[in-house]
Amino acid sequence: MKRIAIALALTLAAAPALRAADAWFVSPDAGLGIFGPVTFKAHVETTEVVESVEFFVDGRSIGLVTAEPWELLYDVGYENQEHRLRLVATLATGERVEATRETASFKVDDELDIELRQLYVNVMSEGRRVTDLGRERFRIFDGGNAETIVTFEHGDIPMTAVLLLDCSGSMEGDRLDAALSGASTFLSRMAPLDEAKLMLFSDRLLGSTPFTRDQTVLEQALSSVAADGGTAINDYLFASLKMLDGRQGRRVIVLFTDGADLHSLLRMRDVLWKAQRSQAVLYWIYLKEPGESGQPSFNTSWRDHEENQEEYKLLRRAVTESGGHIAELESIRDLEGAFGEIIDELRNQYVLGYYPQNSRRDGSWRDVDVRVRRLGARVRTRQGYIDD
């Protein structure tokens, strides 16, 4: 017995001391590619008080978290490259515990010039949003081909939004006040990493802001506009799509109008051409005239009855193909709720990213189909795109 005790004592003396604390990455996964907004999450195993966890990407600090859960959301961009991740947990005792992780680039037949396609996916079942699905429940088909999902996010993913508000003469008075109040509701519920740009238009630009997170700048723009002029939806919708081309993350346009286009130089077919080559999602809040039913019917100096109806149909098509939706309102009392419904939807979307396997860059239309493994679930997302 004495020999066993001595041997055990020698073994314990030779063993390395147990660490008082340890830390590791919970996400993102090791060895996979990361793109766009990514959730960085750490676990710290210790009996001591943890004061903070700092995250690093490629040697650069991306944020310091001072309370559980030890996680943050950060946009790593869309370059197809490897990344070296590091976290540093600081304990109340002054001890620092580190962990590292490496991610991989995504290989597509050794070609790196294929654009990452992002889909903003809404899932409904029995009139309610479905918000508890994992990556494994989704399937993407591009041109009939099953695709590999390389990025998957859900919830408050950073977005860049253009609020395109019709401030033409017909909006004077209570209509304009209600529309501006609705836009203010949308802006007030943006997350800290979201950006927005206001464009207040009629047949000319009446006011605008840069892309900004500053609520003061955005609210000031809403308070300094007066209704005036005609309506040029096509021109400013095309401009909004163009402005979003260079932005990262989710790209969204919320268009509010109380009428049809009367003064644009561009045709809606031009806007549809641009929308089919964009990754932006379009939402259209349309305040109908009292007693209006069906699509508007009128002639203008620019277009006849049939042409104006075609413009209206193509706008609806652009919104639907993008994965957005149209809210047709009977009363200004519904405006604030409509803006609120859109921001609620955006807060609960799934964002799926993939590299098309058979991209031909031949200008053809490619159908996109997203399926969910859940009984009774309905999916709304982008219906396709032009493969340029």
Q: pLDDT tens digits for 195-241?
A: 999 999 999 999 999 999 999 999 999 998 999 999 999 999 999 99
Residue 52 and residue 68: Cα distance in Å, rounded? 9
Model-wide pTM > 0.85: no
**For the chain, what is the domain count?**
3
pLDDT of res. 263: 86
Domain span holding position 129: 117-155+349-387
φ/ψ of 383, rounded to 5, equals -85, -15
Instruction: Specify whether 95 is located in the same domain as 240.
Output: no
CB atoms within 10 A of CB 111: 10
Q: Does residue 7 belong to any structural domain of this protein?
A: no
Average pLDDT over residues 375-386: 95
pLDDT of res. 297: 62
Residue 301 pLDDT greater than 90, yes or no: no
Instruction: Specify whether 182 is located in the same domain as 262.
Output: yes
Instruction: Specify whether 78 is located in the same domain as 144.
Output: no
Instruction: Specify whether 98 is located in the same domain as 201.
Output: no
- Any residues with CB less than 8 A from the CB of 18 and at least 6 apart, and which? none
Which residue's entry shows tokens 């002029």?
A: 229
Q: Does residue 69 belong to any structural domain of this protein?
A: yes
Instruction: Specify whether 224 is located in the same domain as 370.
Output: no
Rounded to the nearest angstrom, the gap between the alpha carbon of residue 170 and the centroid of all alpha carbons in its chain is 32
Q: Does residue 364 belong to any structural domain of this protein?
A: yes
Residue 286 and residue 203: Cα distance in Å, rounded? 17
- Identify the residue with better confidence: 201 or 21: 201
Rounded to the nearest angstrom, the gap between the alpha carbon of residue 246 and the centroid of all alpha carbons in its chain is 14
Which has the closest alpha carbon to 182: 154, 211, 222, 151? 222
Percent of the chain with pLDDT over 70: 89
Question: Residues 322-331: pLDDT tens digits?
Answer: 999 999 999 9
Q: Does residue 1 belong to any structural domain of this protein?
A: no
pLDDT of res. 291: 67
Instruction: Provide the pLDDT confidence category of residue 81 given band limits of 50, 70 and 90.
Output: confident
Which has the closest alpha carbon to 124: 322, 378, 383, 381? 378
Angle value at C-alpha 329, between 323 and 333, nearest 5 degrees: 125
Residue 7 and residue 201: Cα distance in Å, rounded? 85
Residue 105 pLDDT greater than 80, yes or no: no
